[in-house]
Every structure is written in C-alpha cells, then in structure tokens.
Structure 1
Amino acid sequence: MSSSSSSSTLCSVLSNLTAFVVNEGHGVKGLSDLGLQALPDQYIQPPAERITASTVITDDSIPVIDMSPENPQVGEMICEAAKKWGFFQIINHGIPLEALEEVKAATYRFFSQPAEEKKKHSKGNSPTTNVRYGTSFAPLAEKALEWKDYLSLFYVSDEQANSFWPSACREEALNFLKISEIVVKRLLEALMEGLNVKEINGAKESLLMGSRRININYYPKCPNPELTVGIGRHSDVSTLTLLLQDEIGGLYVRKLDGGDDDTWVPVPPITGALVINIGDALQILSNGRYKSIEHRVIANGSNSRISVPIFVNPRPEDVIGPLPELLDGGEKPLYKQVLYSDYVRHFFKKAHDGKETVDFAKLNI
C-alpha cells in the first residue's frame, strides 16, 4: 500500500473511529496496527486521570507471599496483606508455569485473529451474554476511552464453554480457570479464618465463590501513552481477583497509607507469580476489614501487553452484606444488604470512577 493510500485509509478510520473500533470489531489493536503517530482525541484522558512520575512510589511494593506448605505464616501474611494493601502476589502456589504460559499464548492467538472473527463475539453478535468481546470499558458512558481490548468469558458449565467460548483460547482459558480453584479456596479459607469464620461449606462457599469469570486483555502499543490509560481507576466488584501478568507490566495500585490521596505503587511482574486483590464483595462481607483498592493500568509506547484476570464472585442472586458472624460479635454494619446483580449492574453502567460503587453499598450512619 502506498503512503498516500495508507494516509487516506487512516483519515477515513479517524473520521469514523467508533465504527472502525467498536462496530467493525477492530478494537484499539486495529488502530495500533495502522501505525498511528498520534493518539486520537477520543482516548486523551483528563490530566487528573493520568499517572505521572510525581504520583508514583518506586521504593515500596505490595507483599510477595510464598504459598508453599513450608511457610507456616502464610495465613497470617494473607490476612495482613488484605487489610493493609488489598493486593499481594503469590509464588509457589501450585499452578504449573506451563499452564500460565499456555493461556498467555492463547490470548495473543485470539487477538491476532481478523476483526471479523473477533466481532462474532461482540455485543449484538455473540450467541450468549456469557461471552463478550469488546474494547475500552463502557464506551457509551466514557468521556475518554481506555486503550484496551478484551474478551470476557463467564463460566456456567463445561458444556456451555465448549459450545460458545472461542476455539482460539477455549481450552487454555478453561484449564486456567479450573486449576486455579484450589488456590482460590486456600486463599478464602485463610481470609475467613482471619475473620473467625471457621468453615467454608455449602451456602458460604457459594456466597464467596459461586460464580467465576475469566477475561483475556490486550493492551496494544500506544502512541502518546502518557496521555491515556489502559484501564482507569477502579476497584473490582469480585470477592477475589487472580491476575496473570506478562513480563511487560503496567499495573499500579493506590497506596492506602501513602500520606497522599494520589500515591501509586507499581506491581512488578514476577515469573510464575499471580497477583491477588480483594474485591468490593469481600470488603463488604468483611465489614471493611479487608480492603478493595483502586488500581489502574498504564499504556505502553514500546510494547503490546496482555493480562488474564480471573474474577471470583458471589452468584448474581446472592445478597451481600457484612457476614452474620461479624455482626453477632457486636460489630455495627458499615454496609447495607445488596443484591449482588444490582451491585454489578451499578458498576457496569458507568465509566471507571474509583471506589464509587462501594459507596453505593454503604449505610448512611
């Protein structure tokens, strides 16, 4: 293609960016692949939403917890990290490195497909609401778009996954989701023990981990990465989130006791590690003892990046509120009882806005 033809194509795309990125299924990867020299205006974030060197702390980091059986303090370390940071990394967790590498390769494989293949799974085209390919977070609600494409896979059953999840990543995503379950249970057992909740069986297990969703995320190389974000400020609506990072990195966590409302700590990639964070649901269930923390992802001007989070959630029909075991001990509830599907709906109907969704569940005391 000649330079004049390429320039004409780029001008045509930019004149109707939504059609190209969203409707035609190219996503921001398609924009990046065009060889953009400047960030489109639609992706330029307000200065307050960008990370700058002055707001980043590089001499501190979230805890790294060794999950091996030889570590007798692992439970205490998990609970302490959940209270102080809301984030930590785990090593020696038992998930084979091969499985992690396979799901990363599958992520690249899915996003390298032509737009018409990916578009089959977008809103309005996907045969099920449990599989959704998209871009940014909430394009219709956002004043500035985020530099990210994603595929979201809500697990219902093996049968549905085999029928509807894309073949490019189905086997690897399903395997990662399944083999992570034993790690999830171990983490939740430690966290519940820290609340003096002794057993996670039946209804309690369903409340804590009754539904699961795995996303595969793609953050293309970005022109002017300092002007935009990969993901804006938010906390997850999950009970727990397990995140597999690649070697590029780009995740930042708000520091709770940084002495400044806008202090951020990078989460450096560690080979074979998983990043764990407390979600809003567990903050509410723990009556505020465990913290769901704002985090964000920067864009990268040199490399494309991927990540694979698993969101462990209550079931949509569950009601979340402070656990009875805590209130029976005399604690005053900080949060009201909320139907989890209502909570999630409130989160997804708006742009990323920090911790506003948790405020939606607070009692007016």
Structure 2
Amino acid sequence: MRKMVNKTHEEASIINVSSLTCIDLANPNFHQSAASLKQACLDCGFFYVTNHGISEELRENAFAQSKKFFALPLEEKVKVLRNEKHQGYSPVLSQIAENQIHGDYKESFFIGIKGSIDGLHSHIPFCRPNIWPNSDVLPGWRATMEKYHQEALRVCKVIARVLALALNVEEDYFDKPEMLGNPLAFMRLIHYEGVSDPSKGIYGCGPHSDFGMMTLLATDNVMGLQICKDKEMQPRKWEYVPPIKDAYIVNIGDLLERWSNGIFK
C-alpha cells in the first residue's frame, strides 16, 4: 500500500482505478458478508465497509482537530515529539520505506492504547503512556481523539467477527481476552505534503504492507491511495482506490496473512 498525492507528467495520461468489494456492516446476513469479505481477502486483502455507525459529526470533528494540530508551528509540534515507542509526533521524512531516497513526505501523530505504563498492558515492551498536545493550545483535542479511537476500535471488532466466519471459525473467535478483548490498537493521524515523484524515489508514503491484523483507513476526498494487488508481479501494477462517501477502506495486515496460513493476502 502506498499513498500518492501528485502524479508525474508521465502518469497523468494513464490512471488505473481499482474496484474493491464493499461490505455492509448493517447486513443482517453475516454469512453473506463473510463470503464477500473472504473473496476480497483471497483476491487482494482490501475492501470498503459501510454502515459502520461512526457518526459523520465525529469523523468531521476528528479530521478538523487533526488539521488544527498539523497547522501548528513546527516548534509547537516538536514539543510532543514521538517517544522511543513512536507515540507522539513524527516530522516529515522521518519514515522510510523501500526504494526511497529521503523518506516519506508526510508528518504524523501516533496514539496508542488508552492507559498508562502501570495499567493493563504494562508488561508489554512497546506500550507507553500517550503524549498529548497542550490543552491550552488545542482545547478538546485529546477528548475527540480518544472518542474517535474507541469508535474505530468498535468497528474493527465488528469486522473481526465477519473475518472469523470468513476463516471458518466461530463468530466470536477473536473476542477472546487475549485477542481483541484487550487489543493493542493504535491510531495514526497523517498529513501529506503533496510531494511525490516515484521515478525519483520520492513518495508521499512509500510502498509497504501493514504489520497488524487490519487497518481501518479514513480518507478525505483526495484520491491518493494506491494499492498493488499482486506484489509478486514485475513490474508491479498500482491502482488508485477512490474514496467513497461515509465508507472506510480496510486492508488486512501481515499478522492476519500469517494467521490464515498465507491464504488471505
């Protein structure tokens, strides 16, 4: 998966747009949804979800608060610079993927699970207390992000129940305390600089796969996300994923590919 905002002149004349399965989370026939989702995961591991229950007001507020943070002067943003576990602010060019020269032309803010180092996940090496912007500078920012984080996690748990059926196990298979009962769920806010020229190894976000179980991706109306459905193909074919109003784009990660014995991509 990679994100690109600007196209080179050579790319401008040819735009490949991907067609992905759309899963309606309000469909009462879970088995029907599971069959559609299974095929999507066999094909490429990307799909849309609709009727997820996250209100438009909350999504817009989360996007608005995110923009407020990234609009701050750099000297203010570096006050919440990421810790050794990557929680907090990461400046432009701080993340590097394959075939890159400098790093991603994006900045991000990483939010971990709710709690502290002495809490539920205190025994896990990569968990630390979250870093938050000054409430005097961004009033209401933390509360909005925590609420949105929990709502996104709720949706992921619903998707996980459909995934369980797609894997031919019980619907509540992933609900166990050692799995999604107490999950390590992270949220990353991302702002792209609008700089991309793959022919020169310059990317808004370099090619990568996600490491976890699944990623729930909320986008604005800018068509920038590209996916490669077959990473073994040479040269790789990249297709744009158009945003759909009120829908989330979902992709499964390396962990679920491993759990499925490589059947899901």
Secondary structure of the corresponding residue to residue 212 of structure 1:
coil
Structure 2 unaligned spans of 5+:
1-7, 120-127
TM-score (norm 1): 0.57
Alignment counterpart, residue 104 of structure 2, candidates 142, 146, 157: 146
Q: How far apart in 2 are the matches of 1:163 and 1:85?
A: 33
Q: How far apart in 2 are the matches of 1:233 and 1:128?
A: 22
Moved more, 160-169 or 268-277: 160-169
Secondary structure of the corresponding residue to residue 164 of structure 1:
coil
Which residues of 2 match residues 55-204 of structure 1 at below 5 A?
A: 56-58=15-17, 60-70=18-28, 73-123=32-82, 130-138=87-95, 143-157=101-115, 164-166=131-133, 167=135, 168=138, 169-198=141-170, 199-204=173-178
Match of 1:217 in 2: 190
Q: How far apart in 2 are the matches of 1:236 and 1:127?
A: 20
Secondary structure of the corresponding residue to residue 90 of structure 2:
strand
Match of 2:211 in 1: 237
**CA distance change for structure 1 residues 236 and 145 in 2, over 3 Å: closer, same or farther?**
same
Q: How far apart in 1 are the matches of 2:211 and 2:85?
A: 22
Instruction: Please tell me whether residue 280 in structure 1 is matched to residue 237 in structure 2.
Output: no
Displacement of 1:179: 1.0
Amino acid at match of 1:171: A
Secondary structure of the corresponding residue to residue 191 of structure 2:
strand
Q: Is the 8 A contact 1:121 1:133 kept in 2?
A: no
Match of 1:266 in 2: 240
Instruction: Please tell me whether residue 254 in structure 1 is matched to residue 213 in structure 2.
Output: no
Amino acid at match of 2:145: A
Displacement of 1:147: 1.2
Superposed CA RMSD: 3.4
Give the number of the structure with larger relative contact order, counting CA–CA contacts within 8 Å between residues 6 or more apart. Answer: 2
Structure 1 unaligned spans of 5+:
1-46, 292-365
Amino acid at match of 1:239: M
Secondary structure of the corresponding residue to residue 36 of structure 2:
helix
Amino acid at match of 1:82: C
Q: Is the 8 A contact 1:66 1:90 kept in 2?
A: yes
Displacement of 1:68: 1.7
Amino acid at match of 1:250: G
Q: Is the 8 A contact 1:128 1:164 kept in 2?
A: no
Amino acid at match of 2:78: K
Percent identity between matched residues is 27
Displacement of 1:76: 1.5
Q: How far apart in 2 are the matches of 1:127 and 1:280?
A: 23
Amino acid at match of 1:164: I
**CA distance change for structure 1 residues 201 and 109 in 2, over 3 Å: closer, same or farther?**
same
